[in-house]
Chains A and B, each alone.
Chain A
Amino acid sequence: MNASNTRESVLGSIRGSLRVTGDDAARVDAVRKRLKAPSPNLVPERANVRGEESIALLTEMLEGQSAHVSRAKTLDEIPKLVANYLRKNNLPAEFRTGSDGLLADIPWGKATSLTHHLGRGQGDDAVAVSRARTAAAETGTLFLTSGPENPTTLNFLPDTHIVVIQAKDILGSYEDGWNAIRKIYGKRPLPRAVNLISGPSRTADIEQIIVMGAHGPRRLHVIIAG
Chain B
Amino acid sequence: MKPVSHAFKDNAKQALADEPLRRALGGIKHGFVANRAKARAKLPEFERLRDEARAVKEHTLAHLDLYLEAYEKKVTETGGHVHWAATAADARAAILQICQAAGAKTVTKGKSMVGEEIAINEHLEAAGITPVETDLGEYLIQLRHEPPSHIIAPAIHLNKGQVEADFRREHTDLPDNRVLEEPAQLVAEARAVLRKQFLAADVGITGANLLIAETGTSVIVTNEGNGDLTQCLPRIHVVITSIEKMVPTLEDANTILRVLARSATGQECSTYTTFSTGPKRDGDPDGPDEYHVVVLDNGRSEMLGGQFHDMLRCIRCGACMNHCPVYGAIGGHAYGWVYPGPMGAVLTPSLIGIDEAGNLPNASTFCGRCEAVCPMRIPLPKMMRHWREREYEKGNTPAFYKLSLKAWAYAAKNPRLYQTLTGLLIPLLARFGSKGRFRSLPLASGWTRYRDLPAPQGKTFQQLWRAKEMRS
Please list the residues of chain A having a beta carbon within 8 angstroms of any beta carbon in chain B: 1, 3, 6-7, 9-11, 13-20, 22, 27-28, 30-31, 34-35, 38-42, 44-46, 61, 64-65, 98, 119-121, 123, 139-141, 146-148, 151-153, 155-157, 173-175, 178, 189-209, 211, 213-217
Contacts and interface: CB of A to CB of B under 8 A. Distances in A.
B371 interface: no
B268 interface: yes
B281 interface: yes
Contacts of B32: 208
A7 to B, nearest CB: 4
Contact of B243 (A14, A197, A207): A14
Interface string B179-221: 0000110111011001100110000000000000111110000
Interface string B261-296: 000010111111111111111011111000000010
Contact of A22 (B65, B74, B280): B65
A96 to B, nearest CB: 11
Given A13-B302, A190-B277, A208-B27, A42 B272 contact: no
A194 B228 contact: no
Interface residues of B, number: 108
B223 A202 contact: yes
Contact of B270 (A31, A121, A198): A198
B365 to A, nearest CB: 24
B153 A6 contact: no
Contacts of A141: 269, 273
30 contacts: A1-B90, A15-B65, A17-B303, A22-B65, A28-B66, A30-B63, A35-B248, A39-B251, A41-B52, A42-B49, A44-B43, A65-B271, A120-B286, A153-B232, A156-B225, A175-B254, A189-B74, A189-B277, A195-B272, A197-B271, A197-B272, A198-B273, A201-B223, A203-B223, A206-B186, A207-B183, A208-B28, A213-B188, A215-B224, A216-B226
Contact of B78 (A15, A189, A196): A189
Interface stretch (B157-165, B332-340, B392-400, B417-425): B157-165
A216 B257 CA distance: 21
Which of A120, A173, A192, A208 has the most chain B CB atoms inside 10 A of its CB? A192
A211 B274 CA distance: 21
Interface stretch (B113-121, B134-142, B341-349, B376-384): B134-142
A204 B154 CA distance: 11
B225 A214 contact: yes
Nearest to B265: A204
Contacts of A40: 251, 254
A208 B287 contact: no
B311 interface: no
A123 B188 CA distance: 15
B415 interface: no
B78 A209 contact: no
B438 to A, nearest CB: 32
Nearest to A8: B84
